[in-house]
Structure 1
Amino acid sequence: MAGSGGPLSHRGLRGREAELARLQALIGSVADTGSGGLALIQGEPGIGKTTLLAEAAARAAAAGFSVGLGKAEELHHIVPLSSLAASVLHGDRPLLSGDDLADLARNHDQRIWLVERLAEAIEARATDAPVLIGLDDVQWADALSRFALQQLPTRLRTSPVLWLLTGRREPAGPAEEIVAAAAGNLATVTVSLGPLSGAAIGQLADDTLGPAVDAWVRDLLDGAGGNPFLAVEMLAGLRSTDVPRDVVPSRLVVGVRGRLRSLQPGTLRFLQMGAVLGRRFDFEDAAALCDQPAAALLPALEEAVCAGLLDDDGDHLVFRHDLLRQAVYADIPPSARKALHRAAARRLVTAGRQPIDAVPHILRGAVPGDEEAVALLRRAADDVLAVTPGPAADLMLRALELVPSSGQLKFEVGEQTILCLARAGRNREALETGDRLLADRPPLETFGRLQSALGGALWTMDLAEELRRRAEAALAAGGSAPEICARLAALRALALSRGRDLGVAREAGETALRTATAIGDREAHVLALSGLGEIALNAGENAVALQRFAALSTIDSAFLPEEVVAHVHVDDFASAERLLLRAAEGGGAVRQAMLLWAQGQHDLGLGRLDDAEADFVTMERLEDEVRVPVQQLNGRVIRSRIALLRGHREAARENLLAAREHLAVKPNAGNTAAVSFLEAVHAEADGDVALAVDRIRRVQQQGPFLRWRLLRDWVDAAVRMALRAGERELAEDLAAQAEAHAGRNPAVPTAAGIAVQARGLVRNDPAVLAHAVDLLGASPRPLTRAAAHADLGLALLAAGRRSPAVAALALARDTFAESGAHAAAAHVQRALEGAGGESRRAATVRRPVQGWGALTASEEKVARLIAQGHTNRSAADVLVVSPHTVNTHLTSVFRKLSIGSRVQLANLVATLPEVPDLSGA
């Protein structure tokens, strides 16, 4: 303890032997098993959390761990990644250099991407030595650090990475959220520190004052309530001053306020300025608040250090404990605090700091009408919006509270607030904020700007008709700037894409695009292309949709997933794969969850059911992490269909129930149609063809465009349901729709083949079905080809042509089986056996649920690559999938094999027969 006159190196560990032993056991477990772990040390301020963390870290370092320790600061809780940055930048071998971290933050604005890159850096380090990452005072961690800490321990659970956190007891606080996210995925330990025993406090007294401690001192220490920091402060006060026993106050007053009264007035003022700036502060900033030259305050600094109140780490001054800072801060009158925080904000800005550094002081010191504070909050929100949209929205809401109640500035701040809220997924708040501003009857130009800003929220909330109404009202009102008129026109076209008259929508979109191009407004251009892409998809014009989305992703790479899916719709899987590779290499700007959606569509089309399932599972997890659910219902619909193809009926039902739950939240026409179609598929699987047909009719009733959003590749299944139920008219209608769709997409082999297949099913004509098989020979979709072969085989069998029927059915069965569609393969196999064909039950045997045999083909590939020493990133590069998907596969591998580390996996794989090197090395 600085200035106390002697060592107190074990003061916080007295009486903590049991707690330290638990942490020591976890350290040993991580080192021995190679799997991750997490420990949370909880307790009141001063109870010894920091000291226990430091001792555990020292023991881990002695055991060969690479250690990084950081501390969250109360007044830095808004700066993105500031808390965790200290943990990865400091230590014996920093995980990242300062330049590396700055490059991540500067060039890549997606939270998921950034966290994945951190995971890769930590994972790579953990291949050389176990890693310990510690963060003190996690209750003050910034939003991005909290987000990372909720993801990283689970993401790195198969590597020897130990996370040590300390925090105060706060139900449902950041620490609890982090532990809850890790629970069940890796070993977690919560160490609760209670008051020290009287014996332990007595040992502290012996450590400080020697064994001959007066009884009155021991009585005095009872006032510390078992808190080691308070006890040490009392002892330090007793050792450094000659205070009569009858005037020594109790608890912290002895340790802090008693010493403050003995300080020079200038030193006390200096400390108070430091307390305003935070636990860690710059000497020059404190001098500026004192309105004195730095040199003049050197005596005050020396006295504060000698009194044991401050430490100097070489770059900053630091209160030795936050309780010390709080005690100094509490003695400043509340009115003076606000004024000092305002002065601190001005000082930081004047000194050239980033706006975000001044924000904590603005939040504590700003008063209504302070336009300077509003300007700083706006700049800070803009700086952090990309990585932490939630805090950015909170900053803007505060700015809106501070802005003068009248004048144009209120509407400008309101517009920015709406956009930040929408970016954070808080669309209801955005709409309510906008409507409050509109109720103040803004000028016409401002009216248009606000309606334009609300467009994204309305679209995301599925309020297409409301979006159209507002856009048209703003355009009719006039007075808006040209770029705002262009955006409103594009928003109107986007809203019309959900209507029944797509001709009107297309005309509106083309007009909006011409206007946006003419005036050069990027946002209007993006909106117009997005609307035209949606219109083309809804009209079933896949080539046109590809053209629009390709142009869109050229302007804004965030829309690359839409271009990938558009390529898939025209059977151009090679281009889709090139784009996916480009996105994986470029990262950053692409929406990671939507990229997984595109990857899932790609893998599903190619019959890679294992990978597609993992893609959609991962997509849902990522959407949950950023709390922006977009494709979860559609993902569940597809996962349920995949489960039925595989023969996993329970999983299929679980996904159906989840899809219905999502529908209850967003009961729009598209979601209703998707769930209706899935219910039809389940009804057919259950043998209830009447219910199946009823659900297909519901899909038809939702709107013409929804037929092709849903039935583009699955219309053959709907035709079979109709024919099975004797609903020939419905089957004819579906076949006619398939033919019309093929006519709109003449260059797409799948569209042409499915149209002929549907017609062949309606006619029950083997020749037509054989033609469909020929056409689909050019389709890259194995499941579609297999279904066509199965239809042909059954039709030939019914016509008495056994030999070609068996050949077609055998090809269908094998193709289904190769894709993992074992239930579909088994269904065809039964038809084959009924025809007297070969028995191939081994091809359709269900996998066990545990052990190596339970792994899917994709999981086995991942397992072998990881066992060879690959990281998630390098394994993903080999398999041409996302690292997130590799992580999903690996999670399943560890669960099925009942193991917890990469070391265990490598040992297990070493006992298996060798296979060719999957890395191609």
Structure 2
Amino acid sequence: MLISADSSTRLIGRTAELAVLNGAVERLRGGTGTVVWVEGEPGIGKSAVVAAAAQIGREWGCQASVGVADQLAHPPLLGVFLDCLEIGRRSADPRRARIAAFLSDRRATLDLADATRTAAAVEMVVALVDELCAAGPTMLVVDDVQWADDASLDVCRRLVPVAAHLPLLLVMSYRPGAHGSTVRRLRDVTRRRDVVRVPLGPLPPDAVRDLLAALVGVPPGDGLVTLASQAVGNPLFLQELVGALVREDLLDISTRAEVRESRTGVVPRSLAAALDDRLSFVPAGTIELMRASALLGGEFAVTELAALLGRTAIDLCADLHEAVTAGILVEAGPRMRFRHPLLRQALLDGMPAALRAALHLDVARALEAARVEPQRVAQHLLTSGVVGDRWARQWLADVAPVLAAWAPHLAAELLRREVDHDPGDEHERSGLTMNLARVLLATGDHEEAAKRVRQALGAIVDPGDRGHLHWILARALFSGGHNDAAVANLHRALRADDLPDPWRARLLASLAMFQRAGVGDLTAADATARGALRTAAVAGDAFATAYALTGLWAGHSVRRQHRLALKSVEQAIETLGTGVDHVDLMAFVLHGRIFSLQNLSRWTDAEAALRDARDVLRAANRIDDTTSGVTAAVLLFWLGRWDDALAELNAVAQSTSSATYRGLREGGPGWLRHGVAALIAGHRGERGRAAAHLRAGFDRPLVTVADRENIDFLLVARSVAAEQDGNLRAALDHLNDLLERRPGEMTLTHQWLPRFVRLALAADDRSAAEAGVRACLTEAAAEQVPARATAAADRCRGLYHADAAAIRSAVAHYRASGVPVELAGTLEDLAVVLAERDDSAPARAALDEAIDLYDGFGAAWDVRRAEARLRSRGIRRGVRGSRAKRAGHGWDALTPTERKVATLVAAGRSTPEIAQSLFLTRRTAQTHISRILAKLDLRSRVEIAGVVLRQAPGGVLDS
């Protein structure tokens, strides 16, 4: 008689579902990945189906890994993937060991750089999966994904859109009814057309009969079938019901299995009763051991259980064996797992609530003694509900920065609970409040962070702690849109005579940033930054020194003293050194360096600086930094590499992090992302896409000077849309805000003023055109050395006065510095001026060169506009044959970067290797791969390799 389900029994009635998974595994063997989403209620057989799929994958030679998420209020960071991919510090694979070491690093930094470490860990896991796929077909199974932590769900979300481009089969099982925004986002992603959905419903009647027969060893009688209908086709319910009947001797089994009618009144009528019945047959000692195990979660290590009970692992062997025999536990690699969550719940429900709370506190202590990661210790502290325990408070104070980096919401909940409890020790409470405020700042809860800091400031005694709290308060206020309050708070803090020099320097540097970025008080900002620099030198504080230098960089940039600005950021880079303790500030400084090099028309150096910045970010595990992608996109826009710019922006759009400079300067990357994308779409005539980005970009209010200086691309894109509608007046009006910079504003207005002058002349508004020329001449006069603004001024003067010599001067500058977008527009203007002077041959030559450049950008609308402007002046393009249309599909449609990526794919490089080789982010590299597959109408990297080999001379690749 069989009363426990083996693998074949559990799969009864699932032939169709298994056929779908078989097909996915078969495609995987051919190099084509798939995402399979298995959905069904508890006990319906999801785990059995996905486990069978994994076994099929292994039998067919694929790398198959299975992870089961645990049902905890705050599951461990990346827990399901650490188990699935066997990531541990003792792993023989250095990649896995490196991730484990990174996750267990307990360093804390003052600049809150650790707030981004979770995103870095996600990137490392995604990169590991990519590398595994490069080695061969890979299958990942994530069972019970609804219980996974946010970071694990983010890994899944990141893998879903790229699985089809890798030899990756991602199988996720899901229980409906789960809550949480991340799970909802994951479900939104899995609604893609290329995701295979496998819903598991109740077993049909024939399958129920087959399962009953398999469980009892003979065909079921009508009474048993009728009773089994209570299970509503759920295999687990059926198994538990049959098990209870057998144990209670309520079945007559001969040629058929039938319920004893005289005993039907005592048959368990629910699964809960069946579970209780199963546990009643287990020795009391084993049950007590299982109750302790249940506290550790749905899956646990035997060493953890031994540490909790103060016993050796060998002492537990007999009871664990008994639990396995009884079907309570199953082996899960090196760990043990409850066969079903309801079994664990039944054990927990058997304990009084007060006892459970005390035991969870004991578990926390035992896990900390065993040096388990802080997240798991924190989960048990939270579950215990115990507040004010001396050991717990001290532990929380010690590990709060690390816990905040990996599980900020869990940290906030624990800290909030302790702070709201009256500890009787104001100093301790202040320390906890400081940690809570830091966590709230990192999670974006700016209002509560400010409230908590204000509550603590009145009781704080230590001057350094007081300075730290004022620092956090200022950042919370500024990030929440209260710049005046942030400045007032800093002034109040700086009046304290006992403020330590390091904190005085940091607060001064922060004040300088807010004075400029908030209200544009450049004079005060410069004076404050220089005071911060002097104080930082006395204190020997590298962070404050670099932060103050960055404030001076901003002032120099506003004044167009670009050489001095460059010198300031290079000094800041040197001050911060090669460490990663202040990676957010370093990222900001590196982006400032790129900005200054562009302003000096040193475009080649700016590209090199971008590569340097990405090397630094890669060393800090921040290669997919959001702001890095936006900075790269702006640079690539001016260099005419619009497809590459869009790839960068698409990669940024995939990021789950908020696109900010994390308290240093808020919001800018978000406006720039939509602005650059909208402007490229407008130039290419993709009006629907441009409109969508314009709506998203203008969906946020502008509050500070820093906000305004990041919307110029959006303003110009809106102007382009109006011009395409034939409304020149509106197109001109949309640019009025660029005529004059507000105090302290950094906007590079000169790069858009030639467009303003052109539109004004086209609208026959000479006074507006003259205002545009004056504004550009003012910008040029402010330049410390003649550079971009000077060339733009030549172009504006040339347009206004129809002076070909002035425009030729601008053409020479743009040609020499290598900035094709500005060169193309200036050549078009030159052609117009020459045509008006009846110099038709040089006008046609300038037009031809401009259109060739436009074609290279894919700027279809610019081509049409240029041809129309010259046609109205009697000039048509030279006889050069019909212009080749930009290919939409096939090898010719690939951009130069995409061809490089394709060649590296064919050479067997993983996505991280491709990214590092081409100085891209990993997401940007994957975006290029996705576009290659779409343009070549392919499904896998293997197929890309085939196409590349056919393109290579002699079939030989130069890798």
Structures share fold, TM-score greater than 0.5 = yes
Name the residue aligned to 2:587. Answer: 558
Which is further off, 293-302 or 417-426?
293-302
Deviations 1:763-803 (A, max 9, x none): 33223333333344432212222333333332233233334
**Does 2:316 correspond to 1:308?**
no
**Helix, strand or coil: the match of 1:41?**
strand
Q: What is the Cα deviation at residue 58 of structure 1?
A: 1.4
**Does 2:178 correspond to 1:148?**
no
Deviations 1:178-208 (A, max 9, x none): 24224326333132333x3454344334334
Q: CA RMSD in A?
A: 3.8
**Does 2:65 correspond to 1:68?**
yes
Q: What is the Cα deviation at residue 85 of structure 1?
A: 1.8
**Helix, strand or coil: the match of 1:633?**
helix
Q: What is the Cα deviation at residue 325 of structure 1?
A: 1.5
Name the residue aligned to 2:8. Answer: 10
The 5 Å alignment of 1:16-415 reads 16-32=14-30, 34-75=31-72, 77-89=74-86, 98-103=96-101, 105=103, 110-127=117-134, 129-173=136-180, 176-184=184-192, 186-194=194-202, 196-211=203-218, 221-237=228-244, 246=263, 249-252=268-271, 255-283=274-302, 285-286=304-305, 289-290=308-309, 299-311=318-330, 315-386=334-405, 389-401=408-420, 404=423, 407-415=426-434
Name the residue aligned to 1:715. Answer: 753
Q: What is the Cα deviation at residue 703 of structure 1?
A: 0.9
Q: 2:291 corresponds to which letter in structure 1?
A: Q
- Correspondent of 1:753 among 775, 791, 796: 791
Which is further off, 4-13 or 468-477?
4-13
**Helix, strand or coil: the match of 1:423?**
helix
Q: In 1, distance between residues paired with 2:413 and 2:587?
A: 24
**Helix, strand or coil: the match of 2:444?**
coil
Distance 1:263 1:622, change over 3 A: closer
Q: In 1, distance between residues paired with 2:315 and 2:134?
A: 52
**Does 2:716 correspond to 1:697?**
no
**Structure 1 runs not aligned, ≥5 long:** none
Which is further off, 346-355 or 374-383?
374-383
Distance 1:614 1:395, change over 3 A: farther
Distance 1:788 1:916, change over 3 A: farther
Distance 1:229 1:773, change over 3 A: closer
Deviations 1:103-159 (A, max 9, x none): 554689645554444444433433454221001221221221111111112133212
Q: What is the Cα deviation at residue 82 of structure 1?
A: 1.6
- Correspondent of 2:674 among 632, 636, 650: 636
Q: What is the Cα deviation at residue 530 of structure 1?
A: 3.3
Which is further off, 122-131 or 155-164?
122-131
The 5 Å alignment of 1:868-887 reads 870-876=909-915, 879-887=918-926
Distance 1:826 1:680, change over 3 A: closer
Name the residue aligned to 2:579. Answer: none
Distance 1:774 1:165, change over 3 A: closer
Count matched residues: 913
Q: 1:186 corresponds to which letter in structure 2?
A: D
The 5 Å alignment of 1:589-738 reads 589=622, 592-622=625-655, 630-663=668-701, 668-670=707-709, 675-700=714-739, 703-706=742-745, 708-738=746-776
Name the residue aligned to 1:569. Answer: 599
Distance 1:44 1:471, change over 3 A: same
Q: In 2, distance between residues paired with 1:390 and 1:710?
A: 40
Q: Does the CA-based 8 Å contact 1:95-1:122 persist in structure 2?
A: no
Q: In 1, distance between residues paired with 2:395 and 2:246?
A: 47
Distance 1:746 1:171, change over 3 A: same
The 5 Å alignment of 1:845-856 reads 847=886, 855-856=894-895
Distance 1:309 1:787, change over 3 A: closer
Name the residue aligned to 1:900. Answer: 939
Identity %: 27
Q: What is the Cα deviation at residue 363 of structure 1?
A: 0.7
- Correspondent of 1:470 among 456, 481, 489: 489
**Helix, strand or coil: the match of 2:434?**
helix
Q: In 1, distance between residues paired with 2:883 and 2:483?
A: 46
Q: Does the CA-based 8 Å contact 1:558-1:591 persist in structure 2?
A: no
Which is further off, 269-278 or 842-851?
842-851
Q: What is the Cα deviation at residue 69 of structure 1?
A: 0.9
Distance 1:773 1:318, change over 3 A: closer
Name the residue aligned to 1:529. Answer: 549
Q: In 2, distance between residues paired with 1:284 and 1:576?
A: 54
Which is further off, 783-792 or 389-398?
389-398
Q: 1:44 corresponds to which letter in structure 2?
A: E
Q: Does the CA-based 8 Å contact 1:8-1:208 persist in structure 2?
A: no
Distance 1:899 1:312, change over 3 A: closer
Deviations 1:473-526 (A, max 9, x none): 332365544333322222211111133431221111111122123213344334
Q: In 2, distance between residues paired with 1:810 and 1:904?
A: 38
Q: What is the Cα deviation at residue 852 of structure 1?
A: 5.7
Distance 1:533 1:67, change over 3 A: same
**Structure 2 runs not aligned, ≥5 long:** 106-113, 252-259, 577-581
- Correspondent of 1:767 among 787, 805, 814: 805
Distance 1:141 1:862, change over 3 A: same
Q: Does the CA-based 8 Å contact 1:138-1:167 persist in structure 2?
A: yes
**Does 2:851 correspond to 1:813?**
yes
Q: 1:511 corresponds to which letter in structure 2?
A: G
**Helix, strand or coil: the match of 2:608?**
helix
**Helix, strand or coil: the match of 1:84?**
helix
Distance 1:230 1:648, change over 3 A: closer
Give the alignment's TM-score, normalised by structure 1: 0.88
Q: In 1, distance between residues paired with 2:931 and 2:179?
A: 29
Q: What is the Cα deviation at residue 462 of structure 1?
A: 4.3
